Amino acid sequence: MDVHEADVLVVGSGAAAFSAAIAAKQQGAEVIMLEKAPLIGGTTLRSGGGYWIPDNRFQRELGIADEKDDAIRYMARYSFPHLYNPEALRLGLPEHEYSLLDTYVDTASKAVDFLEDCGAVHSIQEINWTGSPQVDYMDHLPENKGIRGRVLYSKDKDGKMSYGGELVRQLKLWATTNGITMLTDHRVTDIVENDLKQVVGLKVLVNGDKVEYFHSRKAVVFGSGGFTHNPELMLHFQRGPHFGGCAAPTNTGDFIRMAGLIGAKLGNMANAFRAEIVVEQALANPEGVHNVFYIPGDSVIEVNRYGHRIMDEKRNYSDRTMTHFVWDPQRAEWTNMLVFMIFDRRTASLWQGYPPYPVEGTPADHSITADSWSALAKGISKRLEELSAHTGGFTIDAGFEENLVKTVARFNEFARTGKDLDFSRGDFAYDREWTTFPPTVPGTQWPPQGSENYTMFPLSDEGPYYAIILGAGTLDTNGGPVINNRSQVLDCDDKVIPGLYGAGNCIASPTANAYWGAGSTIGPALTFGHIAGLNAAAEPEKEGWAQ
């Protein structure tokens, strides 16, 4: 049989995988990266590319004191609200969960500085459109203390903030320049152990038809992504119906099966990093990116099948999506399984081209248009009938139109007074600085003169009106094999599986169900990938194959 060898084998080619590979290589290890897809980059390539890094050097340069204890309190409160007790040992968290948060805060900035110092990734702090360092997604929680500046991005050749594609470009360039072997169309199918139950290699399917073996002298690191595109796992583990996600199409949870076969413990399987998704686009093109990260504009609301608002529409995408999993015990239904983004010509025109709004004059099959609220309700009902085979026959309620008219009137009054008495829209810095931003049309006077709350503007008394059908989607899932604070995979008895490491969305994420701030996927991926790479390279060499 064909056998290839390296000190460290890394599975995947996103942020977690590259961070591990680069850390191991810098310690003198020979590294091979194995990517299932024909393209390098994984979900990171599709991402915004930010990474959430507490107490980073940019904060320190600006005099922002990001104290460790404060950061951990914020993370613990947001990730584990049912356990959080500020007076208790470890804030009420189990030792394992607390240790991951503690390690993250200690290591995240070091991991980013490591990448900077070795020339792999050049970072820049995000300054938002108001001219301030960016806020976190739950900036208003008392544990957060309004800390700014934790969000970093890769810096392009012009010194500007860039996105996931640029982050992957820099990582890939360093890997190529420094002798890391990157192999695409290499799908890992099995983990190989020796007679001592140490992980010593991988069985790989090359180009879909040829089996090859890769021997790891020291360790294997998985950074292979979640299971967004595995319908069976999504059905069995996620807490409610999802309609797709923006993860790489190859993210089918392969590590879960392979690690399970050698006794790995699973965790966080019901959780994910989420964003609402344009249902019709996702059904038409499941492998595309159709998530709605922000609800742009001011004359825009979301309503459920009863015509009622259900949230502050300006909240972050992951938490906003959780409102889709409301269960009605009398009707036995997911009440908010589908919701309707309602807006008028003002928002459609001023924010045109920012997803999910089309540029004016371009086709928009996912948008329903009507000249009156009555006609819009009929249009939504007709569209749902066309989609019924994919939605369990989901419909709007008979009182939808009447309630929608009342909901719009109530929202319009909130917009005039500047106070959302139902959901406090605009009361938070996040609402004002993240999801409400200037129009995409140049030269527009905005915010409107005299506005009491520029996150809201009354919907017009005259049509046209528009609706877009939204459902729950993922950025990717974030459950899988459990790791310790050294990124080592644990078995069902909480013992280390020798020679096996993990990081990123393929493992049980330390974030649990929270999205601490922009980059709460890539931040932990880079950090625990870095930890994995350092420790993998330091492993003693192992011998033997269990054949």
Is the pLDDT at 454 greater than 90? The verdict is yes
Average pLDDT of 328-353? 97
* Beta carbons within 8 Å of 391's beta carbon, 6+ residues apart: 279, 337, 338, 384
The DSSP annotation for 421-451 comes to TTT-TTSSHHHHHTS----SSTT---SPTT-
Cis before 355? omega within 30: no
Average pLDDT of 487-497? 98
Q: What is the structure's pLDDT at 1?
A: 64
Distance CA 45, CA 38 (A): 13
Same domain, 292 and 181: no
What is the CATH number for 107? 3.50.50.60
Domain boundary residue, one of 474, 504, 523: 474
Distance CA 117, CA 4 (A): 31
Whether 521 is in a domain gets the answer yes
Q: Tell me the sheet residues that pair with 3.
A: 213
Same domain, 34 and 154: yes
Q: Tell me the sheet residues that pair with 23.
A: none
Residue 137 and residue 515 in contact, taking contact as beta carbons nearer than 8 Å: yes
Same domain, 304 and 260: no
Same domain, 174 and 289: no
The DSSP annotation for 264-311 comes to BPEE-TT-EEEEEEEHHHHHH-TTS--EE----SSSEEEE-TTS-B-S
Q: Which two tokens stand for residue 388?
A: 């019924």
Same domain, 226 and 253: yes
Whether 544 is in a domain gets the answer no
Distance CA 155, CA 94 (A): 38
Same domain, 467 and 482: no
Same domain, 116 and 210: yes
Distance CA 257, CA 253 (A): 7
Phi and psi, residue 476, nearest 5°: -175, 160
Closest CA to 38 of 269, 237, 206: 206
Is the pLDDT at 2 greater than 90? The verdict is no
Whether 214 is in a domain gets the answer yes
Distances (CA, A) of 179 to 20, 25, 171, 172, 545: 14, 8, 12, 11, 26
Phi and psi, residue 543, nearest 5°: -125, 155
Q: What is the structure's pLDDT at 259?
A: 98
Q: What is the structure's pLDDT at 361?
A: 87
Q: What is the pLDDT of residues 497-546, one digit of tens each?
A: 999 999 999 999 999 999 999 999 999 999 999 999 999 999 999 987 65
Q: Please, which pLDDT band fits residue 302 given cuts at 50, 70 and 90?
A: very high
Is the pLDDT at 279 greater than 80? The verdict is yes
Q: Which domain holds residue 452?
A: 275-474
Q: What is the structure's pLDDT at 217?
A: 97
Distance CA 448, CA 443 (A): 13
Same domain, 248 and 146: yes
Domain boundary residue, one of 439, 456, 474: 474
Average pLDDT of 176-200? 97
Whether 546 is in a domain gets the answer no
Q: What is the pLDDT of residues 9-49, one digit of tens each?
A: 999 999 999 999 999 999 999 999 999 999 999 999 999 99
Mean pLDDT of all residues in the chain? 97
Distances (CA, A) of 163 to 31, 46, 160, 223, 503: 26, 9, 10, 20, 21
Q: What is the pLDDT of residues 460-480, one digit of tens each?
A: 999 999 999 999 999 999 999
Same domain, 208 and 137: yes
3-state secondary structure labels for all residues of 33-82:
EECCCCCCCHHHHHCCCCEECCCCHHHHHCCCCCCHHHHHHHHHHHHCCC
Same domain, 367 and 515: no
Q: Tell me the sheet residues that pair with 517.
A: none
Whether 330 is in a domain gets the answer yes
pLDDT above 90: percentage of residues in the chain? 97
Closest CA to 1 of 258, 207, 186, 210: 210
Whether 122 is in a domain gets the answer yes
Lowest mean pLDDT among 1-5, 24-28, 399-403: 1-5
Question: How many domains does the chain divide into?
Answer: 2
Domain boundary residue, one of 450, 474, 498: 474
The DSSP annotation for 129-156 comes to TTSSBPBPTTTTSTTTTT-B--EEEEB-
Same domain, 495 and 414: no
* Beta carbons within 8 Å of 67's beta carbon, 6+ residues apart: 55
Whether 248 is in a domain gets the answer yes
Q: What is the structure's pLDDT at 3?
A: 81
Is the pLDDT at 268 greater than 60? The verdict is yes
Closest CA to 171 of 111, 250, 105: 111
Is the pLDDT at 492 greater than 80? The verdict is yes
Under DSSP, is residue 404 helix (H, G, I), strand (E, B) or coil? helix
pLDDT above 70: percentage of residues in the chain? 99
Q: What's the whole-model pTM score?
A: 0.97
Same domain, 440 and 522: no
475 dihedral zone (left: phi>0; alpha: psi -120 to 50; beta): alpha
Whether 189 is in a domain gets the answer yes
Is the pLDDT at 547 greater than 60? The verdict is no
Packing angle, helices 95-117 and 522-537, rounded to 10: 80
